[in-house]
Amino acid sequence: MAPTARPTVTAPLSPHLQIYRWTWTMAMSVFHRITGTALYGGTALVAIWLVALASGPAAYAWVAWFFGSILGRLVLFAYTWILMHHMLGGLRHFVWDVGQGFDRARRMNLARGTLIASVIATVAIWAVALLVR
């Protein structure tokens, strides 16, 4: 008995990033996911600092030297921005969870505000830290 030929069925492609028009809310969603993942690296930095602190003056001196260097300060500055951006993105999602901010104008304002406020908060935190120091 010969096998019967199956009809060719073409299923529609799922939408992907090349189909959608890039928007602020889409970009902030991607950044929220990236910053959430990057927080794992920041948690490792905090753990390294705590282990060095508990390991004695020699280990702590090395970690303090690194975080005091230009590269270390850039890493800490980036981590501060990552933390602020992810926190504000979480607040944006909380606003949506309570059923607010779904109209186009408020969605766009929340997305832009997340980015702008995270930069302002990061600069403010570092300005205060450097002034207190």
Of residues 40, 28, 19, 46, the one with CA closest to residue 91 = 28
pLDDT in tens, 60-111: 999 999 999 999 999 999 999 999 999 999 999 999 999 999 999 999 999 9
Tokens of 16: 């992907």
24-132 has CATH 1.25.40.10 classification: no
Please give the Cα distance from 96 to 74 (Å, whole number). Answer: 33
Does residue 14 have a pLDDT over 90? Answer: no
Does residue 13 have a pLDDT over 80? Answer: no
Q: Reduced to 3 states, what is the DSSP secondary structure of residue 99? A: coil
Q: Model's pTM, two decimal places? A: 0.82
Tokens of 26: 């889409």
Could you say which DSSP state residue 92 is in? H
End-to-end CA distance of the chain: 87
E strands, 13-121, in order: none
